[in-house]
């Protein structure tokens, strides 16, 4: 039975899991259906809005059609269902209005049809929306029902059969062990006493326990079967509900896939929209008529021209052939050569459809009519543009006209030399337009050139006047006129003095010769008058010149203003072009960012779809496997059910025999379950009512289980229900105790009555026996004695009957009393266990709830929020917005002092407030008042945290984080693009500050060593030497631009060379010395001890001179062996980034670093603090190579340190023999 119960519970769990899987995967389908509905709704709203607008404007548009003249012959170009039914002949033009194009009755019918279609389609969309809402509500209700039915865990039920079986097994083993023990005892009185005690113990405890366990096991099996049947019934109902939902989903999906407006509705909508579109459509027909007519005329003209040209070609060919045959006609076969020339046939077929005759003047008139209409502004602009497009040449004609492109011959234009494209009118039109544009530009250029020439001419004239080339002016110049020459004007004052002196001398001389003086005076007066006249003439000339100068100045100012205007226009255009370029670049960057975001979003969507597709496939396979398994289980269950049905049929046949006995038991059960209802006489009715009572009991049990599940979420209601149940149980217990007491009293009374009746019966029997003896002895009595005997016999019979009834009633009361006592014990045990279990669950639920409460508070603190309470409501604030200190005021001796103390964090305050967690033990309170107090404290603590405020804050924080993430992603993308752009730019630039593999470097030869090593040009990064290779060919080069392929770091260690061979001479002229550099040596360039240097391997990049690196202070190198000379003079202060300053620093800073070491004193070397005498210096000879190359500063950042210098070398120059100052301009690259 235990295995059977476990099997039923396992089957129930399988059924519930299958139901959960089958029900819980329809969210995506419903959401997809909602999205399709929203898309269909948006489409219908757009159509409905457009149709409504057309209907609202219908009357006004139709009235406007009556004011627009039109050619009725164009009606045949409209669709049959949209045009007027009246026919118009093709050979005559009929001019009416645009209203005649439409059928009024058809328009009215279309209006009513459109309204009807809109209403019906709107109702259909609303119906689908209601169905969607209904299936969504049904699905949510189904999920809730499934979740509620499966909320109770069957883990305890599945373990209960095993537990009960273990208990029964323990009791049975105990009985078996006692039995074996008894069988092993000796046959003695002591053993008999012990066996009797054990038998009594087994009779009172173990055997009843086994019987109770057996009954409980039977109940457990029955409950397992009932629960499994209930699960099957619920599963079937759930499957039916989900099948209904799936059918509705499929129906709505098919409707959404095939949703469309009826054909009559579409026709009605198009006819109504045609009323507003007809003016523009008629205009396009007019333009097409003009275009076709002109194209036909052009084709006829071109074909006639082509036919004439081909006929001319044929005549020329015939004449040439005749001329060729004339001299040789006597020797050739004329019949063989008389074949006809190439013939051709040009046939033009007219169009089948004849268009009405429309001229361009009619197009312009219709454009004016169209511009007068209300609401047709955009159509009028489009119609005007279409009229302009009539004169636009075709693409082939444009290619024919443009034979040159970008300064070169356009071969396709010349290659496609078709005669039909050589139309004079089209090509002439294109050339005229281009010629007009060129003439306008030429006029502008010519006027600009004339102004500039006039300006240059005036400037040259003014310059000549300012130099002094103009004749002197005797007038007074105007100082305010800038164009007036500033040359000094000859003054007539010296002439007046000269004339005065001459007059004085003449007067003196007139004393001797008076007559001669008179003549001289007359001559002088004449000369004076002539001079005055000449002076007046010169003044007039000067005034005229001043006027000319003023006019020229005015013209110059006009030219300058014109020039300024032109320059301002050019600057404005340049600014506009720059702004436009920037805006376009910004748009390009924005579009690139959008494209990248779209690609990222597309990748994410594709990835999510792939993942979703993979998950759906796996889930489908799993569901198929579960379905197959469920089918197999169902088949197995059906076979088992058939077997059970057969067994049940046999049992039913057997039970029919004991139906009468069962009827009595059912009657007793019915009276027990429903004492207030009369027992029905029919057996089937009784069973039906008992089943109804059982179902109601089962429903009551389910309600109790649901109430138990709800008690986990509502502690207060559970506590109230527990108290109520305890009160009811206590009441029932008291009632049962009263009934037991009354039954016992009644039993005692009945027993006393039975004893008295028995005594009376014995007495009557003895009396009857004596009467019978007397009667047998012959003592016959009278009739009274006979009657008395009969009465006594009747009384004896009645007492016997009553005694039997009382005995049976007493036995039934004993049985009922035992049953009531047993039931009372079971109820007390169940009530105590359930109460204890509910108390434990309530305690665990309280602790879990409070733990979640604390975790939420920690999460709020981790998100950077601070919890405060205002008017009993929770308020979340950012941690930075909350004040970090509180003000406390202390008064001493009438003086106020405020101190600031840091306030504890809200989390610390909260933990201090909730440090006492005694309210979590509210279920273990000793008194109801204490329990209510602790429970209220727990509720108050939990109500301090508002989940809605927390959810809003977390959602807002997530939105902020997403916005920040998108912003940082955009910035990271911009920085990445910028880094790539800088990397691409720097790849072709020469590095001079830091060197790494892949950099482009400029290598120059140094002049500080006999080996002349090559080093990289640098600023602030010295001691980078080149590993010379044969491919470099450095012998005839003065510089080398190469890309670094490898960087080796080395440190100079002179201690390794102390025990080696003596050094070569410093000037490198020793016999054993060599100019080759050994890179295996740690110091091939004779650097200072402890110095860190780098050996570079590089490959030549290009053979052209590199650009000058962008550093301050350029250095010009003429030759690697040339000496730069300079004078001692004051120079301006160099900046800290000057190459000479950077390259002239001392090595003391490097020597004093942690990576450098002081070199050991060398044998034969001078002390570093002693200055070498001129005779001892290696470069003392002015003709030596070292002197020629120039001396290096002491410890400078040069690439080599090849001679001894003083450590206090503050001077950066060495005096040569002539007292000049020699400065090494190329000390280091």
Distance CA 725, CA 728 (A): 5
pLDDT at 578 over 80: yes
**Is residue 289 in some structural domain?**
no
pLDDT at 1127 over 70: no
pLDDT tens profile 262-299: 888 888 888 888 888 888 888 888 888 888 888 888 88
pLDDT at 888 over 80: no
Q: What is the pLDDT of residue 700?
A: 57
Q: What is the pLDDT of residue 1131?
A: 40
Segment 331-340 shows an average pLDDT of 76
Distance CA 439, CA 677 (A): 121
Q: Are residues 793 and 884 in the same domain?
A: no
Judging by DSSP bridges, how do beta strands 408-409 and 1125-1126 pair with one another? unpaired
Distance CA 825, CA 819 (A): 10
pLDDT tens profile 355-394: 888 888 888 888 888 888 887 888 888 888 888 888 877 7
Q: Are residues 643 and 732 in the same domain?
A: no
pLDDT at 1191 over 60: no
Segment 87-108 shows an average pLDDT of 73
Of the two residues 767 and 1203, the one the predictor is more confident about is: 767
The proportion of the chain whose per-residue pLDDT surpasses 90, expressed as a percent, equals: 1
Of the two residues 491 and 442, the one the predictor is more confident about is: 442
**Structural domain containing residue 921:** 848-890+902-961
pLDDT at 327 over 80: yes
Q: Rounded to a whole number, what is the distance in angstroms from the first to the last CA of the chain?
A: 101
Model confidence at 502, in pLDDT bands (50, 70, 90)? very low
Model confidence at 712, in pLDDT bands (50, 70, 90)? low
Range from 263-267, 503-507, 526-530, 840-844 carrying the lowest mean pLDDT: 503-507
Mutual orientation of helices 263-325 and 104-149 as an angle, nearest 10°? 120
Q: Are residues 524 and 642 in the same domain?
A: yes
Q: What is the pLDDT of residue 1069?
A: 38
Q: Are residues 512 and 584 in the same domain?
A: yes
pLDDT at 77 over 50: yes
Q: Give the max Cα distance, the chain.
A: 250
The CB density around residue 1000, as the number of other CB atoms within 10 Å, is 19
Residue 775's Cβ-count burial label (10 Å; 0-12, 13-18, 19+) is: middle
Distance CA 207, CA 171 (A): 9
Q: Quick one: which H or E segment has residue 506? A: helix 493-510
With helix as H, strand as E and coil as C, how does 666-683 read?
Answer: HHHHHHHHCCCCCCCCCH
**Is residue 140 in some structural domain?**
no
Distance CA 1100, CA 1043 (A): 6
Residue 905's Cβ-count burial label (10 Å; 0-12, 13-18, 19+) is: middle
- Give CA 956 to chain center in angstroms: 16
pLDDT tens profile 948-979: 888 888 888 888 888 888 889 888 889 888 88
Give the end of a domain, one of 824, 842, 860.
842
Q: What is the pLDDT of residue 855?
A: 84
Range from 612-621, 913-922, 937-946, 1151-1160 carrying the lowest mean pLDDT: 1151-1160
Segment 39-68 shows an average pLDDT of 84
- On whether the CB atoms of residues 666 and 694 are closer than 8 A, the answer is no
Segment 1045-1064 shows an average pLDDT of 71
Q: Which of 1180, 1177, 1174, 1171 is nearest to 1206 (CA)?
A: 1171
pLDDT tens profile 723-740: 777 777 778 777 877 777
Judging by DSSP bridges, how do beta strands 1092-1100 and 1024-1026 pair with one another? parallel
pLDDT at 149 over 80: no
Distance CA 1000, CA 859 (A): 54
Q: Are residues 753 and 838 in the same domain?
A: yes
Q: What is the pLDDT of residue 1097?
A: 92
Mutual orientation of helices 683-713 and 783-862 as an angle, nearest 10°? 30
**Which tokens go with 741?**
């007491």
Q: Are residues 775 and 859 in the same domain?
A: no
Range from 138-152, 165-179, 235-249, 960-974 carrying the lowest mean pLDDT: 138-152
Mutual orientation of helices 27-56 and 207-257 as an angle, nearest 10°? 30
The CB density around residue 955, as the number of other CB atoms within 10 Å, is 10
Model confidence at 830, in pLDDT bands (50, 70, 90)? confident
Q: Are residues 542 and 582 in the same domain?
A: yes
Q: Which of 33, 481, 408, 576 is nearest to 254 (CA)?
A: 33
**Is residue 87 in some structural domain?**
no
- On whether the CB atoms of residues 1207 and 1169 are closer than 8 A, the answer is yes
Residues 1165, 1168, 1172, 1178: what is their CA dihedral angle, to the nearest 10 degrees?
A: 50
**Is residue 361 in some structural domain?**
no
Model confidence at 150, in pLDDT bands (50, 70, 90)? low
pLDDT at 1206 over 70: no
Of the two residues 1221 and 365, the one the predictor is more confident about is: 365
Range from 99-108, 519-528, 1072-1081, 1105-1114 carrying the lowest mean pLDDT: 1105-1114
Segment 448-455 shows an average pLDDT of 80
Range from 311-325, 763-777, 1001-1015, 1163-1177 carrying the lowest mean pLDDT: 1163-1177
**Is residue 251 in some structural domain?**
no
Strand partners, 385: none
> Which residues neighbour 207 within 8 Å (Cβ) at sequence distance 6 or greater?
175
For residue 75, give the DSSP letter: G
Buried b (16+ CB within 10 A) or exposed e, 497-530: eeeeeeeeeeeeebeeeeeebeebeeebeeeeee
Distance CA 111, CA 101 (A): 17
- On whether the CB atoms of residues 842 and 921 are closer than 8 A, the answer is no
Question: Taking all residues of the chain, what is their mean pLDDT, rounded to a whole number?
Answer: 72
Q: What is the pLDDT of residue 1044?
A: 92
Domain of 772, CATH number, reads 1.10.287
pLDDT at 1180 over 50: no
| Vertex 498: Cα angle to 496 and 500 (nearest 5) | 70
Of the two residues 466 and 622, the one the predictor is more confident about is: 622
Q: What is the pLDDT of residue 1133?
A: 42
> Which residues neighbour 95 within 8 Å (Cβ) at sequence distance 6 or greater?
69, 70, 71, 72
**Is residue 59 in some structural domain?**
no
Q: What is the pLDDT of residue 1043?
A: 92
Q: What is the pLDDT of residue 865?
A: 83
Number of folded domains in the chain? 3
**Is residue 284 in some structural domain?**
no
Q: Which of 204, 50, 18 is nearest to 118 (CA)?
A: 50
**Is residue 282 in some structural domain?**
no
Q: Give the phi and the psi of residue 1003 in degrees, each rounded to 5.
A: -105, 130
Q: Are residues 874 and 815 in the same domain?
A: no
Q: What is the pLDDT of residue 665?
A: 64
Segment 627-635 shows an average pLDDT of 83
Give the end of a domain, one of 803, 818, 842.
842
Q: Are residues 752 and 885 in the same domain?
A: no
Model confidence at 161, in pLDDT bands (50, 70, 90)? confident
Q: Are residues 563 and 648 in the same domain?
A: yes
Model confidence at 401, in pLDDT bands (50, 70, 90)? low
Segment 983-999 shows an average pLDDT of 83
Q: What is the pLDDT of residue 475?
A: 38
Segment 917-941 shows an average pLDDT of 82
Model confidence at 1098, in pLDDT bands (50, 70, 90)? very high
Q: Are residues 582 and 598 in the same domain?
A: yes
CA distances from 407 to 403, 410, 433, 435 (A): 10, 9, 20, 18
Model confidence at 998, in pLDDT bands (50, 70, 90)? confident
Q: Are residues 776 and 834 in the same domain?
A: yes
Q: What is the pLDDT of residue 1063?
A: 44
pLDDT tens profile 297-325: 888 888 888 888 888 888 888 888 888 88
pLDDT at 1129 over 50: no
Give the end of a domain, one of 842, 860, 878.
842
**Which tokens go with 673?**
């379950």
> Which residues neighbour 654 within 8 Å (Cβ) at sequence distance 6 or greater?
none
**Which tokens go with 890?**
């202390």
């Amino acid at each position: 039975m235990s295995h059977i119960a476990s099997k039923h519970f396992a089957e129930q769990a399988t059924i519930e899991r299958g139901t959960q899987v089958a029900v819980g995967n329809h969210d995506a389908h419903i959401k997809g259906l909602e999205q399709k509905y929203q898309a269909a709704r948006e489409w219908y709203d757009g159509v409905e809005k457009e149709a409504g607008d057309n209907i609202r404007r219908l009357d006004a548009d139709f009235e406007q059609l009556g004011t627009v003249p039109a050619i009725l012959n164009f009606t045949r170009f409209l669709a049959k269902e949209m045009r007027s039914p009246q026919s118009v002949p093709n050979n005559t033009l009929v001019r009416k209005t645009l209203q005649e194009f439409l059928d009024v009755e058809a328009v009215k019918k279309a209006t009513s049809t459109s309204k009807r279609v809109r209403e019906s389609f709107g109702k259909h969309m609303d119906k689908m929306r209601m169905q969607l809402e209904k299936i969504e509500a049904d699905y949510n209700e189904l999920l809730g029902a499934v979740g509620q039915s499966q909320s109770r865990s069957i883990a305890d039920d599945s373990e209960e059969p095993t537990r009960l079986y273990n208990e029964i097994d323990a009791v049975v083993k105990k009985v078996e062990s006692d039995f074996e023990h008894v069988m092993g005892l000796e046959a003695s009185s002591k053993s008999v006493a012990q066996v009797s005690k054990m038998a009594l113990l087994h009779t009172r405890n173990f055997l009843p326990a086994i019987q109770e366990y057996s009954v409980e096991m039977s109940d457990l099996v029955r409950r397992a079967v009932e629960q499994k049947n209930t699960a099957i019934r619920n599963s079937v109902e759930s499957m039916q509900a989900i099948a209904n939902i799936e059918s509705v989903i499929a129906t709505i999906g098919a409707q959404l896939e095939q949703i469309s407006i009826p054909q009559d509705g579409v026709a009605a909508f198009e006819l109504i929209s045609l009323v507003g579109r007809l003016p523009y459509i008629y205009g396009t027909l007019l333009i097409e008529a003009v275009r076709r007519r002109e194209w036909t005329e052009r084709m006829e003209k071109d074909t006639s021209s082509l036919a004439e040209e081909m006929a001319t070609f044929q005549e020329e060919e015939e004449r040439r052939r005749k001329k060729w045959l004339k001299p040789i006609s006597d020797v050739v076969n004329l019949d063989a050569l008389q074949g006809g020339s190439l013939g051709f046939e040009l046939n033009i077929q007219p169009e089948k459809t004849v268009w009405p005759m429309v001229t361009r003047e009619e197009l312009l008139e219709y454009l004016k009519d169209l511009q007068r209409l209300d609401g047709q502004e955009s159509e009028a602009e489009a119609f005007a543009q279409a009229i302009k497009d009539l004169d636009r040449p075709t693409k082939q004609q444009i290619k024919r006209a443009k034979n040159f492109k970008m300064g070169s011959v356009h071969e396709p234009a010349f290659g496609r030399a078709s005669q039909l494209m050589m139309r004079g009118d089209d090509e002439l039109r294109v050339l005229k337009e281009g010629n007009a544009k060129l003439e306008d530009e030429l006029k502008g250029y010519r006027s600009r050139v004339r102004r500039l020439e006039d300006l240059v001419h005036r400037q040259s004239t003014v310059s000549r006047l300012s130099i002094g080339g103009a004749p002197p002016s005797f007038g007074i110049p105007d100082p305010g006129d800038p164009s007036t020459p500033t040359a000094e004007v000859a003054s007539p004052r010296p002439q007046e003095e000269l004339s005065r002196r001459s007059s004085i001398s003449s007067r003196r001389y007139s004393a001797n010769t008076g007559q001669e003086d008179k003549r001289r005076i007359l001559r002088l007066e004449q000369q004076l008058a002539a001079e005055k006249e000449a002076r007046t003439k010169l003044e007039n000339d000067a005034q005229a010149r001043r006027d000319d100068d003023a006019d020229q100045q005015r013209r110059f100012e006009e030219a300058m203003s014109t020039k300024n205007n032109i320059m301002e226009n050019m600057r404005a255009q340049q600014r506009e072009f720059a702004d436009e370029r920037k805006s376009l670049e910004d748009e390009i960057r924005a579009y690139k960012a959008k494209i990248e975001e779209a690609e990222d979003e597309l990748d994410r969507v594709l990835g999510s779809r792939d993942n979703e597709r993979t998950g759906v496939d796996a889930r489908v396979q799993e569901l198929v496997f579960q379905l197959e398994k469920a089918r197999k289980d169902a088949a197995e269950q059906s076979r088992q059910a058939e077997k059970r049905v057969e067994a049940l049929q046999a049992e039913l046949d057997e039970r029919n025999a004991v139906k009468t006995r069962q009827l009595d038991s059912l009657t007793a059960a019915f009276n027990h379950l429903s004492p207030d209802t009369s027992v029905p006489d029919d057996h089937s009715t009784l069973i039906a009512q008992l089943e109804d009572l059982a179902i109601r009991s089962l429903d009551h049990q389910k309600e109790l289980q649901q109430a138990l599940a709800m008690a986990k979420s509502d502690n207060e209601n559970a506590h109230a229900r527990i108290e109520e149940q305890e009160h009811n149980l206590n009441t029932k217990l008291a009632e049962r105790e009263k009934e037991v007491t009354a039954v016992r009293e009644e039993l005692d009374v009945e027993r006393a009555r039975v004893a008295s009746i028995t005594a009376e019966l014995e007495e009557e029997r003895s009396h009857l026996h004596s009467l019978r003896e007397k009667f047998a002895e012959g003592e016959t009595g009278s009739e009274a004695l006979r009657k008395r005997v009969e009465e006594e016999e009747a009384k004896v019979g009645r007492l016997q009957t009553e005694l039997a009834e009382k005995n049976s009633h007493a036995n039934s009361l004993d049985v009922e009393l035992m049953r009531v006592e047993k039931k009372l014990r079971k109820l007390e045990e169940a009530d105590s266990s359930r109460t204890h279990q509910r108390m434990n669950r309530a305690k665990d639920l309280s602790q879990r709830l409070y733990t979640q409460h604390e975790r939420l508070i920690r999460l709020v603190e981790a998100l950077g929020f601070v919890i405060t309470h205002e008017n009993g409501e929770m308020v979340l604030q950012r941690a930075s917005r909350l004040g970090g200190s509180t003000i406390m005021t202390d008064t001493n001796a009438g003086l106020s002092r405020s101190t600031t103390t840091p306030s504890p964090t809200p989390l610390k305050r909260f933990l201090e407030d909730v440090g006492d967690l005694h309210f979590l033990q509210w279920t273990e309170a000793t008194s109801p008042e204490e329990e209510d107090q602790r429970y209220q404290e727990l509720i108050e603590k939990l109500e301090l945290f508002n989940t809605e405020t927390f959810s809003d804050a977390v959602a807002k924080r997530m939105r902020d984080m997403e916005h920040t993430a998108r912003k940082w992603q955009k910035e990271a993308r911009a920085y990445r693009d910028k880094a790539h752009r800088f990397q691409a730019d720097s790849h072709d630039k020469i590095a001079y500050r830091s060197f790494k593999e892949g950099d482009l470097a400029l290598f120059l030869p140094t002049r500080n060593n006999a080996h002349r090593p090559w080093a990289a040009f640098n600023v602030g990064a010295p001691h980078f030497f080149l590993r010379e290779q044969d491919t470099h060919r450095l012998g005839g080069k003065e510089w080398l631009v190469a890309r670094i392929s490898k960087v080796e770091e080395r440190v100079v260690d002179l201690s390794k060379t102390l025990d080696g061979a003596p050094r070569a001479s410093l000037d490198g002229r020793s016999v054993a010395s060599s100019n080759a550099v050994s890179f295996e040596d740690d110091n091939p360039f004779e650097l200072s001890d402890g110095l860190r240097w780098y050996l570079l391997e590089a490959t030549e990049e290009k053979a052209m001179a590199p650009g000058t690196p962008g550093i301050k202070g350029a250095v010009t190198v003429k030759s690697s062996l040339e000496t730069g000379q300079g004078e001692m003079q004051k120079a301006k202060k160099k900046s800290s980034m000057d190459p000479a300053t950077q390259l002239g620093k001392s090595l003391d800073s490097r020597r004093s670093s942690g990576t450098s070491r002081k070199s050991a004193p060398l044998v034969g070397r001078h002390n570093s603090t002693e200055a070498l005498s001129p005779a001892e210096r290696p470069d003392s000879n002015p003709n030596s190579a070292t002197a020629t190359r120039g001396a290096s500063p002491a410890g400078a950042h040069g690439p080599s340190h090849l001679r001894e210098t003083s450590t206090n070398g503050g001077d950066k120059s060495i005096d040569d023999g002539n007292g000049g100052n020699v400065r090494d301009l190329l000390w280091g690259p």
